[in-house]
A and B are shown apart, each in its own frame.
Chain A
Amino acid sequence: MRLRKKTRERLFIASFLAGPLLVYLVFVIWPYIETFGYSLTEWSGVAPPSKVVGLKNYVDLFHDPIFLKALTHNMIILIVFPTVTIALSMFFAFMLNVGGRRGGLGGVKGIRGSAFFRIVFFFPQVLSVAIIVILFQSAYESNSVGLFNAIVIKLGLTDANHPWEFLNSPTFVLWCIMFILVWQWVGFYLVLFSAAMQQIPRDYYEAALLDGAGRTQTYFKVTMPLLWDSVQTAWVYLAVAAMDAFALVATLTPGSSFGGGPDEHGEVLSTYLMRNFQVLGKAGYACAMGVVIFFITLILSLVVLRATRRERLEY
């Protein structure tokens, strides 16, 4: 028997959507929804949650000194890391695409070796976070065997008996982590901004050149304003990455489970969440923390998109 055309189409749609939707609902959507529910309970994470405590977990969170410390650290990362990453990758992208030496009308091109730099700068992106952890674990080592200490000793900034305590230093631990984040992401945004720059019509640069603009001026007056869309996209994605940083902090900073040391100076929300969940047996509390992270990320994205909204030029 032949089915009607419309029915056949419906069946086809349903059969194609059933699988993906089922997997997605079971493993992504449902857990996300459950997090909100669990965050209202007192729950050790072993038996099903027994007691509903309302907003108690949230109230506790904002009286928890470690949570507040972790939150502050995330905020510092949130400001420093995207700013530095965007500035560096913009500058590099400019150099690679329009920073070339030759003047004249054909002068809009990248510097020599652009292809090489592009390949190298992007490279950290394809490395597993585990590899990055091992790299920097040995590079940051706080004795003369570590690569960075070997360098500062060579430079005469300190001597072999007083090596710098990179990750063990309460002052520097967060900066060490942020350095790795920047190291990891600059290449990604370099490629992103390059693609956006290549879409800027050449006439604009030529016109600027004819009007007597220098390279610095061209950069600030032509390139930057035209890249605004990409910058705002980049900021949102970087904000999400800044709220994460789990693997780096959990494995590189001192501390018995999921790092966070020395003395909570390296603690971030994600590691504190994991510790509450897997070590301290406070799964409900950890869920509340997850919800807070979610809202912070959401608000930040909305703020960025609003605050940076500008008129867009179509070309």
Chain B
Amino acid sequence: MAADMTQSTPGATNPAGTPGSAKGKRTDPERSRRFGESGATLNVFGTGFMAIWAIMILGPVLWVVLGAFKNAGELNGSAWSWPHHWSFDAFSRAWHTGISTYLRDTVIVLVFSVSLTMLLGAMAAYVLARFEFRGNRFIYYLFVSGVMLPVYLALVPLFFQVSKLHMLNTYQGLILVYVAFSMPFTVFFLHSFFRTLPSAVYEAALIDGASHTRAFFQVMLPMAKPGLISVGIFNILGQWNQYLLPVVLMQSQHGEQPHYMLSQGLVSLMVAQGYSGDYPALFAGMTIAMLPVMAVYLSFQRQVQAGLTAGTLK
């Protein structure tokens, strides 16, 4: 579905898109001045509005991070209070009330789920993109149709499917589900990427006696690195931030300890803090959870933006 989002009528022209460019080829100072002026009002208004929007984004984030350094009294006092002494007490409380476990469990799951997603996704996308065989298009559309399907539709049966396999509240269960639900986008993205790669190097490798498998791992995969990085970042962020799937699949079954993922753990911490009133610890936990994504985002800002929006652009 997602593949055919744009209908094109090649050759047709958009009337609004081609203003009569033949008329005024000379530079007209009068006109460019007017253009500049009409821009000035818009500029003041626009920049002001954008500044407000930026404050609306940064404001709450900073306010909550600051809250991690306040003590309970300061938090319950005024919203404008400034932390008196900068201590990391709340951080260590948050760390010991569960964040460290959630973090560990999430990292364990993600290490396997992201690498498996990339491996299986690349394998499927590669075969579908570069080989002709019967059923190719059918399988491709089967994968890609998943991009648009809402997860809710599958939620109830998925729970029982995982239950039947005795994988509720297990790492392997969640890993496989993450991999499966990441497949559509990964295949879709890498499929178009593998199509653009030149085949000369690959053919040379085959002539030199490499098997298809070896040619894939040693020639094609390294060439596809930019695509793999984009879709990799997409999957890391997506799975790191996943909330709904763990809520359904990672509940305690027979009274054993549930393996909460970070997002889920934070929300449960929020509910728990609502009772015990230790908001600084909650805010500290949130800050801890935010730091890794922030580091990734700020250092790979361009790739992150490209990776996250790439699927929509195609």
Contacts and interface: CB of A to CB of B under 8 A. Distances in A.
Interface string B268-299: 00100000000100110010011001101110
B120 A23 contact: yes
Interface residues of B, number: 124
Given A147-B59, A305-B7, A137 B270 contact: yes
Nearest to A118: B305
Contact of A120 (B58, B152, B161, B187): B58
Given A101-B39, A210-B23, A211-B19, A126 B121 contact: no
Contacts of A155: none
B124 interface: yes
B31 A301 contact: no
B180 A273 contact: no
Contacts of B63: 138-139, 147
B7 A120 contact: no
B38 interface: yes
B207 interface: no
B176 A27 contact: yes
Contacts of B180: 23-24, 26-28
B17 interface: yes
Given A16-B126, A35-B157, A273 B309 contact: no
A243 B150 contact: yes
B298 to A, nearest CB: 8
Interface in A20-36: 20-21, 23-24, 26-32, 34-35
Contacts of B312: 192, 233-234, 237
Nearest to B56: A183
Contacts of B50: 92, 95, 111, 117
B34 A214 contact: yes
A79 to B, nearest CB: 18
A313 B152 contact: no
A103 B33 contact: yes
Given A27-B161, A135-B60, A297-B148, A101 B124 contact: no
Nearest to A146: B79
A66 interface: no
Given A13-B133, A138-B67, A127 B293 contact: yes
Interface string A278-307: 100001001100110110010001000100
B257 interface: no
A159 interface: no
B244 interface: yes
A156 interface: no
A193 to B, nearest CB: 10
B200 interface: no
A270 B152 contact: yes
B21 A210 contact: yes
Given A102-B36, A208-B19, A226-B17, A121 B150 contact: no
Q: Would you list the 7 A-B pairs with minimal beta carbon distance, nearest first?
A: A103-B36, A150-B79, A207-B21, A27-B180, A214-B38, A130-B263, A34-B157
Given A119-B301, A134-B283, A225-B14, 6 more contacts: A12-B127, A26-B180, A27-B179, A211-B23, A240-B148, A286-B155
